[in-house]
Structure 1
Amino acid sequence: MWSGMLQVGLVVLPIRLYVATVEHPVRLHEIHVADGSRVEHRRFCRAENREIPYEQVGKGFTLPDGRGVPLTEQDLARLPLPTKRTVDVLGFVPYEDIDPISYGRPYYAGPGPGADRAYALLVEALARTGYVAVAKVALRSRERLALLRPRHGMLILQTLLWQDELRDPGDLAPTTPLTDRELELAEVLIHEFTGISVSDVHDDYAHALQQLVDAKLSGGGLAEPAEPAPALDLMAALQKSIARAKASSSQADDDEVHRRPKKTPAKQTTGHRSRNT
């Protein structure tokens, strides 16, 4: 957990950072193909031509001439960096001005002791204006650009890539001219597919990998999913996709109607209705 100060002009309040996400990667290991045993990576010292224990491994800075300057944790703690313990807000910009390609790792930025009121004020002010704070902060031994944005009554600190870390796409973008009819059909297709619940989408890689392992162990076959063929006739593909999307939407509506509980008809009464006197 990182703890420090958030500085906005002359306003300074204590905050704490907490990791906001957890990934569940399916890890593959390096093995010796001949016998399937795991491959180890050992710490080897070139100068002494021998393997060294973990306790003798440290951090260092390599000079242009190849010499290494050892840097201990105590040395790094004395690093003369203003953002080492301070999230320094540089300014505020509209949220949409930050290109998502720059997004790094998100952290929850919670208030420190005695900072509840100032913290709540900043969260609400950002939420009302639609602005985010652009800041600098030192995390994991390096200074990073970051943004602060409100989410569910809290601040999210999202690290950003520096501009020189973004690669220029060059001439990858196509320059093919498009017709008005093609654009019209493409917009219709987008509208037909509008609406998706991200929480309902799941990672199928782990299941597919388990199927592959089972097939390898049993010696059985494994059916490969069919790859879609390129749609060379763009107009025909757009029209067919729209028709399929509409049919799917109509079927979903019919299924929803059938799932609804049927209303019980009101009982009919005979005779005269009595009056309250």
Structure 2
Amino acid sequence: MAARSIASMTLSFGLVSVPVKVYTATESKSGVGFNLMHKECGTRLRQQYVCPADGKVVERADMVKGYEFEKERYVIFEKSELEALEASASHTIDIVSFVPTEAIDPIYLDKPYYLAPDKRGGKPYRLLQEAMKDSGTCAVARWTWKGKQHMVQVRAGSDGLILQTLLYADEVRSQADIGIEETDIQPTELQLAEQLIEQYRVDSYDAAAYKDEEKERILAEIDKKIAGNKITAAPAVEQPGGQVIDLVEALRASLKKKPAAAEQPTTAPRAARKTARAAAPTPEPAEEAPAPKRRSVRRAATEEQPAPARKTGTKR
């Protein structure tokens, strides 16, 4: 089925206007849903809206929308008034600046959309895409949609332009409020951790290589139930979270374990590199591995002057 656009807009920067169509880029693949049933007869229950003042069921035709401006005080809006509010929405995506693509922290990225050129928009569309790709920049723009003004990022994707709404600053909580513990990192621990990262490292993220295994497990159990079998809980697996472990020994043991990612299908060039890497002997980590050389004098370690312990976290 051909994709259907949700809106026609004009992407504007300077005196240049690019007519575009907006398409949703994602669709929710929700988990397994269960319905509420009547225990006595097994009939699916129906949701109804009940007026607490008189206890009557209110039909959809008798519902209106209201805004609570004070506690238990509402102003009622007619359908025409709601349509008038929506009519003020702009049909323009106004670019306000261009920034390096990596300048936007991913934590601010929200819902993505695809942009496609509309009539007579093909050339300026491709021009903007290539210019941002070559310059390593993305656009920051304003987009008014469904009663809210969004700040959005417009960036060059592999096949076209991508628009992604951005969260406002007051919509993102500060990580400083979590209270992350301040601790010391020893050079040997850091070296082993970096070796482990390199062992699990792959060239790129392949979303198609992963699936919702928990959803598949639940659906398999439901099939058993449909077949007349009783579902029983699997034995609980003991979690190692509460155990006190030697961090260095845990890192060394992890280095000897084959990464699960290495068993997944990859592209041919990547597989060739993995084969070559697997053919080479993997050296065992030394008992007391020296700290790797760094550009920073503070991180360097010599026999006369031991490397100082590295601190992580921010003291608040």
Q: Same fold (TM over 0.5)?
A: yes
TM-score by length of 1: 0.79
1:6 alignment partner in structure 2: 11
Quote the residue 2:72 is aligned against.
66
Output the CA distance in 1 between the equivalents of 2:88 and 2:189: 54
Query: Number of matched residues?
Result: 255
Amino acid at match of 1:188: Q
SS across alignment from 2:140 = strand
1:213 aligns with 2:219: no
**1:149 and 1:76, CA in 2 relative to 1: closer, same or farther beyond 3 A?**
farther
Q: Which runs of 5+ in 1 are unaligned?
A: 258-277
Aligned-pair identity in percent equals: 29
**Per-residue deviation, residues 125-170 of structure 1 (Å, max 9, x unmatched):** 1111111111111223222121001112311110111110111231
Match of 1:229 in 2: 240
Given the superposition, is the C-alpha separation of residues 243 and 214 from structure 1 closer, same or farther in structure 2, using an over 3 Å criterion?
Answer: same
CA RMSD of aligned residues (A): 3.0
1:4 aligned counterpart, secondary structure = strand
In the alignment, what sits opposite 2:308?
Answer: none
C-alpha displacement of 1:177: 1.3
8 Å Cα contact 1:76/1:141 also seen in 2: no
**CA pair 87-248 structure 1, distance change in 2 beyond 3 A:** closer
Separation (CA, whole Å) in 2 of partners of 1:18 and 1:126: 21
Name the structure 2 match of 1:79. Answer: 85
**1:75: how far off?**
3.1
Shift of 1:47: 4.5
Using a 3 Å threshold, how does the CA distance of structure 1 residues 137 and 58 change in structure 2: closer, same or farther?
farther
Q: Give the stretch that moved more between structures: 68-77 or 108-117.
A: 68-77
- Provide, for residues 94-150 of structure 1, a one-character-per-residue CA deviation record: whole Å limited to 9, x for no partner: 111111111111111111211111111111111111111111112232221210011
Q: Is the 8 A contact 1:189 1:241 kept in 2?
A: yes
Q: 2:27 aligns to what SS in structure 1?
A: coil
* Alignment partners' CA distance in 1, 2:261 and 2:136: 37
Task: Measure how far apart 1:44 and its partner are.
Answer: 2.5
Aligned-pair distance for 1:178? 1.0
- Structure 2 counterparts to residues 1-277 of structure 1, below 5 A: 1-32=6-37, 34-35=39-40, 37-72=43-78, 74-79=80-85, 84-169=90-175, 170-195=177-202, 197-214=206-223, 217-219=228-230, 221-224=232-235, 226-230=237-241, 232-245=245-258
Q: Which moved more, 1:146-155 or 1:43-52?
A: 43-52
List gaps (5 residues or longer) in structure 2: 1-5, 264-270, 277-316
TM-superposed deviation, 1:222: 4.4
Q: Please, what TM-score do these two structures have when normalized by structure 2?
A: 0.70
Larger radius of gyration: 1
